């Protein structure tokens, strides 16, 4: 089992991730960029990742690349296929030229998908209402086989597009995460019931991605430690899932996350809940409805620096697999402390929306904390281009 290293590795120095050598131990985690209208790679999307790469991170993660048509979050989500190939190659080339590596977060949105926008029914383990308010369709064995093959093909396409790493989304109650959830998975066949059955589909997908990717790229997974909802996946079962994935031997690292995009997204973000800003993005009558249910959907959790670290320590004690710590990391001493405890990398997001060059300043010897105030008003901006709205409001 992993323990604290005798001598903590330096933040800024070569670090191994499977077959890769990263220049430091800080990764830009995946955040919806809101910069791919009609599912197209745009100059804005390329610039988004180029800025972060030039700012000093070792690797930036492109979100959220769908493996299947109905697995898009909505019609503006990029799906792997010939139409996106040239644009994704342009993106990875720009990131490489800026001095960083590029990771592709791949997934199937499942019940989180907007079926109306996609013009296709959303899928889930068991029939239920999805994020768009419509009933989902329970995935059939044929769907599971097809989607597993879609993951395999997407992995190969990511390699062809120049990505160095592939991150499989096993979190936030997207399709694979929803299969893991006892709250969402009510099946009685070989993909439901006991945890070993609920984990079958995610494990088969991870094996397929490794097969499609080959040995030359890293393969990681973003796994929920806890869904943050009653009856959902929680830490003890998630550790068991992580142990299964470790034993399967297909992953180079796990990035640990939490929360449900269906029921409790603020469990992931912590800090202020931007209910008014979210409501403003909705058409009527949805805006009126959100004013009623918004407080229940967007709960408030006090922000704490490194808020997932306590849960993640339980995984650190149980696993040998390299772990990536995520969640409210804004200070260099948090990064150093995580590495001293035994985490292999840290992942940052909101702090880098505010200051893309924060990591580079740390490498140059400065130790100032990030300026992100955790207002979370960047969350609703995913519909118009993800950005720090506070930055625009701050005088130069």
182's tokens: 């006892």
Other CB atoms closer than 10 Å to residue 236's CB: what's the count?
Answer: 10
Closest CA to 22 of 50, 57, 48: 57
Other CB atoms closer than 10 Å to residue 228's CB: what's the count?
Answer: 22
The yes-or-no answer on residue 301 being catalytic is no
User: Do residues 269 and 307 lie in contact, with contact meaning Cβ atoms separated by under 8 Å?
Assistant: no
Closest CA to 110 of 96, 126, 94: 126
Of the candidates 64, 151, 174, 307, the residue annotated as catalytic is: 174
Cα–Cα distance, 313 to 325 (Å, whole number) = 9
Cα–Cα distance, 101 to 77 (Å, whole number) = 22
Characterize the bridge pairing of strands 20-22 and 15-17: antiparallel
Cα–Cα distance, 259 to 246 (Å, whole number) = 22
User: In three state form, how does the secondary structure of 265-316 look?
Assistant: CHHHHCECCCHHHHHHCCCCCHHHHHHHHHHHHCCCECCCCCCCHHHHHHHH
The catalytic residue positions are 174
């Amino acid at each position: 089992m992993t323990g604290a290293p005798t001598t903590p590795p330096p933040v800024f120095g070569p670090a191994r991730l499977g077959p890769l050598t990263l220049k430091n131990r800080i990764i830009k985690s995946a955040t919806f960029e809101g910069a791919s209208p009609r599912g197209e790679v745009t100059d804005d999307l390329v610039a988004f990742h180029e800025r972060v790469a030039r700012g000093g991170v070792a690797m930036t993660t492109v979100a959220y690349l769908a493996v299947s048509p109905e697995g898009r979050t909505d019609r503006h989500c990029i799906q792997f296929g010939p139409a996106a190939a040239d644009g994704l190659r342009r993106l990875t080339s720009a990131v490489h030229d800026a001095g960083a590596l590029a990771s592709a977060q791949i997934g199937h949105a499942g019940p989180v998908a907007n079926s109306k926008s996609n013009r296709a029914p959303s899928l889930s383990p068991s029939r239920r209402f999805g994020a768009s308010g419509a009933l989902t369709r329970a995935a059939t064995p044929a769907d599971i086989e097809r989607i597993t093959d879609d993951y395999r093909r997407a992995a190969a396409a990511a390699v062809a597009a120049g990505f160095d790493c592939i991150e499989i989304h096993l979190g936030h109650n997207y399709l694979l995460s929803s299969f893991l959830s006892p709250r969402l998975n009510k099946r009685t066949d070989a993909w439901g019931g006991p945890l070993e059955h609920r984990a079958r589909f995610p494990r088969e997908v991870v094996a397929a991605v490794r097969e499609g990717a080959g040995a030359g790229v890293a393969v990681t997974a973003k796994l929920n430690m806890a869904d943050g909802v009653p009856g959902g996946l929680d830490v003890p079962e998630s550790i068991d899932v992580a142990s299964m994935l470790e034993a399967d031997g297909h992953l180079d690292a796990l990035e640990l996350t939490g929360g449900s995009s269906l029921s409790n997204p603020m469990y992931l973000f912590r800090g202020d809940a931007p209910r008014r800003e979210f409501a403003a993005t909705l058409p009527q009558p949805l805006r009126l409805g959100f004013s009623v249910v918004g407080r229940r959907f967007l709960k408030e959790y006090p922000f704490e620096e490194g808020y997932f670290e306590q849960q993640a320590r339980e995984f650190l004690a149980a696993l040998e697999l390299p772990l990536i710590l995520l969640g409210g990391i804004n200070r260099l001493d948090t990064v150093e402390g995580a590495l001293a405890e035994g985490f292999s990398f840290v992942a940052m997001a909101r702090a880098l929306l505010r200051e893309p060059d924060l990591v580079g300043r740390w490498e140059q010897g400065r130790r100032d904390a990030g300026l992100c105030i955790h207002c979370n008003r960047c969350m609703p901006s995913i519909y118009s281009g993800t950005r720090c709205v506070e930055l625009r409001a701050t005088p130069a």
